[in-house]
Amino acid sequence: MNDPTKVDAPLVDPDVVAQIKTWKGYVEAKLGFRNCWYPSLNSEEVEEGKPVPFLLAGEKLLLNRIDGKVYCMSDTCLHRGVPLSEKVECYSKDTITCWYHGWTYDFKDGKLCDILTDPNSKMIGNRALQTYQVEEAKGLLFIYLGDLDEGEQPPALERDVPPGFLEADRRVRPFRRQVNSDWRLGAENGFDTTHIFIHKDSKLIIGNETMLPLGFAPPPGKMNDLWDRVETDAGQQGVYDRLADHGVPHFEGKIDGEVVLKAIYGGDKRIAGEISLWMPGALKVDPFPDPEMIHFEWYVPRDEKSHWYVHCATKVVPGEQGDESFGREYDAVWKDMYAHGFNDDDIWAREATQDFYDDDYGWLDETLFESDACIIAWRKLASETNHGIQTRVRDRKR
Amino acid sequence: MNDPTKVDAPLVDPDVVAQIKTWKGYVEAKLGFRNCWYPSLNSEEVEEGKPVPFLLAGEKLLLNRIDGKVYCMSDTCLHRGVPLSEKVECYSKDTITCWYHGWTYDFKDGKLCDILTDPNSKMIGNRALQTYQVEEAKGLLFIYLGDLDEGEQPPALERDVPPGFLEADRRVRPFRRQVNSDWRLGAENGFDTTHIFIHKDSKLIIGNETMLPLGFAPPPGKMNDLWDRVETDAGQQGVYDRLADHGVPHFEGKIDGEVVLKAIYGGDKRIAGEISLWMPGALKVDPFPDPEMIHFEWYVPRDEKSHWYVHCATKVVPGEQGDESFGREYDAVWKDMYAHGFNDDDIWAREATQDFYDDDYGWLDETLFESDACIIAWRKLASETNHGIQTRVRDRKR
Amino acid sequence: MNDPTKVDAPLVDPDVVAQIKTWKGYVEAKLGFRNCWYPSLNSEEVEEGKPVPFLLAGEKLLLNRIDGKVYCMSDTCLHRGVPLSEKVECYSKDTITCWYHGWTYDFKDGKLCDILTDPNSKMIGNRALQTYQVEEAKGLLFIYLGDLDEGEQPPALERDVPPGFLEADRRVRPFRRQVNSDWRLGAENGFDTTHIFIHKDSKLIIGNETMLPLGFAPPPGKMNDLWDRVETDAGQQGVYDRLADHGVPHFEGKIDGEVVLKAIYGGDKRIAGEISLWMPGALKVDPFPDPEMIHFEWYVPRDEKSHWYVHCATKVVPGEQGDESFGREYDAVWKDMYAHGFNDDDIWAREATQDFYDDDYGWLDETLFESDACIIAWRKLASETNHGIQTRVRDRKR
């Protein structure tokens, strides 16, 4: 229980949590979820024998590649709590030695395997840093942010990525940015049907001969049918937005009955047909930004006030040269017009929302409307199907 | 009541408030008062159809001029709490549309009059942003920071400005600066009789041939007569400092009986004869800085730690060209020697005081002396005659 | 007792204090100790008649030299709490006058001896700022941070400096830096036997032909004999590290039984023989960095998150020219190779540790090992022998 004599404030205002009825767990998940896979660095960012720090869900982690395989361990020395990455000292392939007092950890199991300043210490072999399993897929390093018993295997990665992401021959270009907002404001920005309003003057519309409406009218009599909640055979938990899918798009904005704004007409391409959001926080837009492509993006909690925005342009390109070929296409066409030209606007929108939700009261003071039905569905799904709420490292020890 | 399990701290330390006896309301008014008029932007800063944000008493506001008249509305969209001013989108003369999801508000009554992304939403017409009435006077835009019932009119502006400010032919040059101190430290700095000590080497003394004492001795046997509290027929509530008025000025400073400091003698002009402080926080110095001029200045709460210092040089200049003529005089003579030369010192003095009062304990730990009698009188007046204490927007919703 | 309805957080988390068994006082001493001598500015930094501010243990102080003797007084005016040093105004040799309202204080006793704006105030002679006694020794100004009754004398300075520091003909070169960590992380960094690991590639090793081990093995069967706690006849309280003294140095680091690291061999000079830490927070290393020299360093609390690192190179050099002669040696040889070359690493190490201990939970979450026995001994000594815990000025008034 929350003890008011503590100096340290609780992670989330308990007064706000108490007032939320059906999606408490989501409000509590300011640092995201536990016991699930999150993408982190790109594969190519972690080279053999060169540990790299990464802040995930409030935890300082260290990733290293040993004989090709990537390992992940806490970056905080057990002894005096300093970051090992402050000055990297690796004296053997499998280990890192703390620069301060020589405590040496094995990347594979986190074990304190030696102490260079005192080889006879009884601590040796009897303490370990937290480690997390890493799986490499589609150019991303996924971390299983969860607790496993000795020998226990984590769930399959597939459970925690949107359907189709792992498809053979699907080529992925991951592009990670830090966004200074709560990860949930990222997820809701992406999934939110009517936020397309901010993209109405995106260079993608003209550049890609696209037709982008200003909004959608919910299908008449279908107010309770604006979303579908699904669980796949692989255990993936997601919500589909049916407003974007089945609603009536409109291309004119009216005030007092008069047309005041018309959508830019870039061409006849209809994109963004099917939009879905998946646990623990990944969007799928199929197709996007082109009829041949599927867009995936992750909102990975970084700390209480920021997230990693992992943007993935993808396309199925068969053949041995598929990666290289799609890479060239991405660099030439999509990086500027789509990753930047379209999604940069989402970044500043999320950051503009942070102030209102920063003290948790935004969850109570917001005013949602009909088109946000899919967001509420997502919040409930996230509350009900998560495998644990991530807390501060310090609180987990208590 | 204050709930200790909340993450968010109360605006003012309840322990301090509990220890104050006769001017509790003043200590609570860290964000100023409610249901009163405050000056904000200068008239000329708000042009037709160009909304401008302004932070007043912890509230993000937006001012816009429509057909010549200025309107004021909350700058925080009801939907997801973003600032409308982050990216101004006005598609009709009377409205602003939120850049995020197209929620559109009428400046005149704050009504949510349309939603461009969903013209059929039931929210339309049934929600409204907070609006505040605006009155334009003497080149300033006054905002009535208060709650009015449908059709209710605010009190006359005159009630909340010092006597004489609205006088016909009184020409006013408003000059606004942000000062990084609590607004009350501004008000007390200005009203405080003995703070003239900091102005002892002001360029105004020589430049304007002025006689400025180092301080005043309270008139013998008149220790209880250092101030007058008044209420005018117009309802203005103020305190006059009678120490500056009736006390014995002295021009020499002594330590251990020896003269160690002499006031600079600039000339025979006696200025600053009558000093008074008015609710909700405006000073009048008559005359100042010249026998023909009256000085007014407002301390307008901006947030918990800063205020707007609205400095008004004024003079009665009859005739059609009065404004222009006084404007030339102000720019040529007064801006440098008076607004900057004299009052810049007040700004750093206020900012130097902030640290001590920042956690509210300064109100308990200060040591006032006889000459501060008028400050205590002001604190009591402010506690007794205010029409409400301004709170955080969030707390008002609870 | 801690009152949870207060806005202001307690200095130290009471929940952490409650869990510490044998060294509670040390955890509470985030701002250091009271009723003891701390070094502050160097003698030469305080010139005749030129007051200089200094932040000590959370208190804003002002030091001034009058007729050669240095006095120390609070820098916070009693009246409205502003720093006197914000704009120094001294109108007589013994006093400082507040720039705001002319309150004038005598440096020798802190008395409010005059008020230049109101020479008749009854406050005059009846109020006083806190003063602290100052003693000058070895080029340092020591402040007795304690409360004395009228006429009471503080304990001898000798009690609060390590043995030998005040020795005749011992020449001292003090060098003060601000370090952004809690003072205790400074003290423990310096005393900590195995932190020599961070110095393994110091330029001092080659430059001074020194032999520096990577660590020490505790002497077999002597695990309870790794330190000595002493009280001298002069009342000095200290702990000697016997691991560095009696342990078995090793010059090779092994992982899995294989040598992976060898100490740099600079030469045969053995230094740092005897290491001891003294109340209220001063290290002695004898000899260091040369067989003829003794190293002393103080960790002086500055505020909750920073300390003054007062580094003192010392050597006995008899004769009238001793000071000058050692000064030349220090500037030519030791400043670069030792004060910077060796101890700069300690500064970043301390700062890298701050984050973990910042919220007090580091004291619970750390994992100490055998070689840290002397640190635990120090913590107990500090808890048991201090003469008071320093608190915030504000809390002391309550």
Q: Given the structure tokens 């867009």, which residue do they identify?
A: A295
Total number of domains in chain A? 2
Tokens of C283: 């290290």
Strands, E, within A67-205: which ranges? 69-74, 95-97, 103-106, 112-115, 131-137, 140-144, 170-179
Max avg pLDDT among A217-226, B209-218, C1-10: B209-218
CA–CA distance, B331 with B337 (Å, rounded to integer): 10
Q: What is the per-residue pLDDT for A246?
A: 81
Which three-class secondary structure state does DSSP give residue B27? helix
For residue B217, which residues of chain C lie inside 8 Å, CB to CB?
118-120
Q: How buried is residue C328: exposed, middle or buried, by Cβ count under 10 Å (0-12/13-18/19+)?
A: exposed
CA–CA distance, A398 with A383 (Å, rounded to integer): 24
Residue B233 sits in the same domain as residue B288: yes
Q: Give the Cβ contact number of residue A115 at 10 Å.
A: 26
**Which of B316, B308, B305 has its CA nearest to residue B280?**
B308
- Spatial contact of A159 and A236, defined as CB atoms under 8 Å apart: yes
Tokens of A4: 């008011």
Prediction ipTM score: 0.95
- Alpha helices by DSSP H, listed for A211-343, are 242-246, 322-329
Amino acid letter, C117: T
- Spatial contact of B288 and B282, defined as CB atoms under 8 Å apart: no
Q: What is the pLDDT of residues B3-25, one digit of tens each?
A: 545 667 889 999 899 999 999 99
Q: Which domain holds residue C333?
A: 160-385
Q: Give the Cβ contact number of residue B358 at 10 Å.
A: 15
Q: What is the pLDDT of residues A36-84, one digit of tens each?
A: 999 999 999 999 999 999 999 999 999 999 999 999 999 999 999 999 9
For residue B121, tell me if it sits in a domain.
yes
Residue B81 sits in the same domain as residue B223: no
B251 Cβ under 8 Å from any chain A Cβ:
no
Q: What is the pLDDT of residues A161-206, one digit of tens each?
A: 999 999 999 999 999 999 999 999 999 999 999 999 999 999 998 8
Q: Give the Cβ contact number of residue B221 at 10 Å.
A: 7
Answer yes or no: do C79 and B9 touch at CB < 8 A.
no
When pLDDT is cut at 50, 70 and 90, the band that residue C222 belongs to is: low
**Which of B93, B128, B96 has its CA nearest to residue B109?**
B128
Residue A198 sits in the same domain as residue A111: no
Mean pLDDT of A2-24: 81
For residue C127, which residues of chain B lie inside 8 Å, CB to CB?
367
What is the DSSP track for B242-285?
A: HHHHHSEEE-EEEETTEEEEE--B--SEE---EEEEETTTEEEE
C122 Cβ under 8 Å from any chain B Cβ:
yes
CA–CA distance, C112 with A255 (Å, rounded to integer): 69
Residue A204 sits in the same domain as residue A103: no
Residues 100-119 of A with CB under 8 A from C: 100-102, 104, 113-119
Answer yes or no: do A194 and B117 touch at CB < 8 A.
yes
Q: What is the pLDDT of residues B232-253, one digit of tens each?
A: 999 999 999 988 778 888 999 9
**Which of C235, C280, C239 has its CA nearest to residue C32?**
C280
For residue C396, tell me if it sits in a domain.
no
Dihedrals φ, ψ of C163, to 5°?
-55, 135
Could you say which of B215, B250, B365 has the minimum Cβ distance to residue C81?
B365
Q: How buried is residue A313: exposed, middle or buried, by Cβ count under 10 Å (0-12/13-18/19+)?
A: buried
Residue C331 sits in the same domain as residue C360: yes
A214 Cβ under 8 Å from any chain B Cβ:
yes
Q: What is the per-residue pLDDT for C2?
A: 41
User: Distance of alpha carbon C254 from its chain centroid, rounded?
Assistant: 36
CA–CA distance, A184 with A194 (Å, rounded to integer): 17
3-state helix/strand/coil string of chain C: CCCCCCCCCCCCCHHHHHHCCCCHHHHHCCCCECCCEEEEEEHHHCCECCCEEEEECCEEEEEEEECCEEEEEECECCCCCCEHHHCCCCCCCCEEECCCCCEEEECCCCEEEEECCCCCCCCCCCCECCEEEEEEECCEEEEECCCCCCCCCCCCHHHHCCCCCCCCCEEEEEEEEEECCCHHHHHHHHHCHHHHHHHCCCHHHHHCCEECCCEEECCCCCCCCCEEEEECCCCCEEEEEHHHHHCEEECEEEECCEEEEECCECCCEECCCEEEEECCCEEEEECCCCCCEEEEEEEEEEECCEEEEEEEEEEECCCCCHHHHHHHHHHHHHHHHHHHCCCHHHHHHHHHHHHHHCCCCHHHHCCCCHHHHHHHHHHHHHHHHCCCECCCHHHHHC
Residue C144 sits in the same domain as residue C196: no
To the nearest whole Å, the CA of C77 is away from the closest chain A CA by 30
Long-range contacts made by residues C319-323, C-beta under 8 angstroms, separation at least 24? Answer: C319/C169, C322/C169, C322/C171, C323/C171
CA–CA distance, A367 with A356 (Å, rounded to integer): 12
CA–CA distance, A209 with A205 (Å, rounded to integer): 6
A10 Cβ under 8 Å from any chain B Cβ:
yes
Torsion angle of the four alpha carbons B212, B217, B220, B222, in this order, in degrees rounded to the nearest 10: 80
**Subunits that touch chain B (at least 3 Cβ pairs < 8 angstroms)?**
A, C
Beta bridge partners of B239: B229, B277
For residue A64, tell me if it sits in a domain.
yes
CATH number at residue B370: 3.90.380.10
C352 Cβ under 8 Å from any chain A Cβ:
yes
Residue B125 sits in the same domain as residue B179: no
For residue A166, tell me if it sits in a domain.
yes
For residue A28, which residues of chain B lie inside 8 Å, CB to CB?
none
Domain boundary, last residue among A116, A134, A152: A134
Nearest CA in chain C to A116: C253
A92 Cβ under 8 Å from any chain C Cβ:
yes
**Which of C249, C345, C260, C342 has its CA nearest to residue A89?**
C260
When pLDDT is cut at 50, 70 and 90, the band that residue B398 belongs to is: low
Beta bridge partners of A261: A253
To the nearest whole Å, the CA of A385 is away from the closest chain B CA by 25
For residue C91, tell me if it sits in a domain.
yes
Could you say which of A8, A113, A115 has the minimum Cβ distance to residue C369?
A115
Beta bridge partners of A233: none
Residue A230 sits in the same domain as residue A378: yes
What is the DSSP track for A319-351?
A: STTHHHHHHHHIIIIIIIIIIITTTHHHHHHHH
Dihedrals φ, ψ of B205, to 5°?
-65, -55
Mean pLDDT of B353-376: 95
Residue A173 sits in the same domain as residue A124: no
Q: Give the Cβ contact number of residue A331 at 10 Å.
A: 11
Could you say which of B2, B216, B255 has the minimum Cβ distance to residue C114?
B255
CA distances from C53 to C22, C46, C62, C63 (A): 37, 10, 4, 6
Answer yes or no: do C95 and B255 touch at CB < 8 A.
yes
For residue A58, tell me if it sits in a domain.
yes
Dihedrals φ, ψ of A389, to 5°?
-100, 130
Domain boundary, last residue among B142, B171, B196: B142
Domain boundary, last residue among C103, C127, C155: C155
For residue A1, tell me if it sits in a domain.
no
The pTM for the full model equals 0.95
Q: Share the mean pLDDT of chain A.
A: 94
Could you say which of A8, A101, A119 has the minimum Cβ distance to residue C254?
A119
C214 Cβ under 8 Å from any chain A Cβ:
yes
Pick the range with the lowest mean pLDDT from A215-219, A273-277, A346-350, C234-238.
A215-219
CA–CA distance, A293 with A272 (Å, rounded to integer): 10
CA–CA distance, C106 with C92 (Å, rounded to integer): 9
Mean pLDDT of C11-24: 93
**Which of B36, B86, B80 has its CA nearest to residue B60?**
B86
CA–CA distance, B371 with B350 (Å, rounded to integer): 18
- Spatial contact of C123 and B369, defined as CB atoms under 8 Å apart: yes
Could you say which of A215, A352, A367 has the minimum Cβ distance to residue B116?
A215
Residue A182 sits in the same domain as residue A242: yes
CA distances from A14 to A24, A391, B157, B320, B397 (A): 10, 14, 43, 63, 18
Tokens of C222: 């002597």
C-alpha triplet A354, A357, A363: angle, nearest 5°? 145
Could you say which of A195, A253, A367 has the minimum Cβ distance to residue B116?
A253
B2 Cβ under 8 Å from any chain A Cβ:
no
Q: Share the mean pLDDT of chain B.
A: 94
CA distances from C369 to B22, C192, C260 (A): 58, 11, 22
User: Distance of alpha carbon B39 from its chain centroid, rounded?
Assistant: 7
What is the DSSP track for B289-340?
A: SSTTEEEEEEEEEEETTEEEEEEEEEEE--STTHHHHHHHHIIIIIIIIIII
Nearest CA in chain C to A96: C255
For residue C3, tell me if it sits in a domain.
no
Beta bridge partners of C312: C174, C296
Mean pLDDT of C63-91: 98
CATH number at residue A91: 2.20.25.10
Answer yes or no: do C13 and A4 touch at CB < 8 A.
no
Residue A125 sits in the same domain as residue A232: no
Q: Does residue B1 register a pLDDT over 60?
A: no
Q: What is the DSSP letter of B22?
A: S
A223 Cβ under 8 Å from any chain C Cβ:
no
Could you say which of B6, B104, B120 has the minimum Cβ distance to residue A255?
B104
Mean pLDDT of C154-170: 98
Q: Given the structure tokens 């040390």, which residue do they identify?
A: C26
Residue C136 sits in the same domain as residue C179: no
Mean pLDDT of C305-322: 96
Beta bridge partners of B285: B275, B295
Q: What is the pLDDT of residues B41-73, one digit of tens each?
A: 999 999 999 999 999 999 999 999 999 999 999
Contacts of B185 (CB under 8 A, 6+ apart): B350, B353, B354, B357
**Subunits that touch chain C (at least 3 Cβ pairs < 8 angstroms)?**
A, B
Q: Share the mean pLDDT of chain C.
A: 94
- Alpha helices by DSSP H, listed for A12-150, are 14-19, 24-28
C15 or A284, which is more confident: A284
